[in-house]
Amino acid sequence: MGHGHDHGHAAGRAEDRSRLRWVLGVTVVVLAFEVVGAFLTGSLALLADAGHMATDAAAVVLALGASYVASRPAGPRSTFGLHRAEILAAMLNAVVLLVVCGYLAYAGISRLADPTSVDAGPMIAFAAVGLVANGVSLVILNRSETGSLNLRGAANEVLADLVGSILAVLAGVVILLWGWDRADSIASLLIAVLILPRSLILLRESASILLENAPAGMDLEDVRRHLMEMPGVVDVHDLHAWTITSGMPSLSAHVTVTQEVLDEHGVGGVLDRLADCTAEHFDVRHSTFQVEPVSHQDHEDLGEVH
């Protein structure tokens, strides 16, 4: 059961890498296009979108590298493999987004006080190309079904770029029709506002995994209750749940059972039923159980709680 799940996870990760390579190619081409456009038109919103696309390109390279590293087999010291590389990449992406957000806020406020003339027609054309390219990239990434936090980090950045391109187009239209140059600065500030919550959510979720919090949506008391309802189980303790990487929740527990159940089913039979319970009700297929007879309770030492 576990081997099949690992194989499916690896296949999904390979598909994600293919998507990321496509997105990287599109992003680099449009980045170069928008940098030229920003200098030709003098648009801060276009330059902000180009700068954000540069961080997107770096983020996709980082995500690709993390995915390759995470697919390496486990070793004598890295017993879980290097799956957490994906989560570290997602956290770094979130930090980069926050830095970009801060720059856009600073530059936008500065331009509001001293607006610069913008060539609106070419600005709209360059931003429209970025809009189409970001839309294509987002569709490619959203077709993934792996739930990878690493991939979501890249998708969030592309989504923010898509919105940024829309705002750049709108700002260009306003400048073209009414000559209000401050629309360019306001667009860059709105991009910063839209980036901020996505950055914080990604940072919080990646930090939660690295801190080994229980997977989102999993109630450990509910897990304990399901295990306690199994015939012969008299106690469940030292129960822990965490996430190795996106889509790979894990669980461990000490389960005390009656001697009668052990005599009837054996340790293997009890383990099968425990693993089936957590897989069926909580979709956890990486589970480890220590099965103990009732007579062992007085001799167990779990160490000092720190």
Per-residue pLDDT reduced to its tens digit, 20-30: 788 788 888 88
Q: Which domains does the chain have, with CATH numbers?
A: 2-210 (1.20.1510.10), 220-299 (3.30.300.30)
Which residues are CB-contacts of 30 (< 8 A; sequence separation ≥ 6)?
53, 129, 130, 133, 134
* Torsion angle (degrees, nearest 10) of CA 154, 157, 162, 167: 180
Strand partners, 290: 254
pLDDT level of residue 60 (50, 70, 90 thresholds): confident
Q: Which position has the higher pLDDT, 8 or 43?
A: 43
Element (H, E) at 19: helix 2-41
| pTM of the predicted model as reported, rounded to 2 decimal places | 0.70
Give per-residue pLDDT as tens, 243-274: 887 667 899 999 999 999 999 989 999 999 99
Give per-residue pLDDT as tens, 198-237: 778 888 888 988 888 888 888 999 999 999 999 999 999 9
pLDDT at 7 over 70: no
Q: Averaging pLDDT over each range in 40-44, 72-76, 142-146, which range is the top one?
A: 40-44
Summarize the confidence of residues 63-77 as an average pLDDT. 67
What is the token pair recorded at 68?
């390759």
Q: What is the mean pLDDT of the chain?
A: 80
Provide, rounded to the nearest whole percent, the portion of the chain with pLDDT above 70.
78
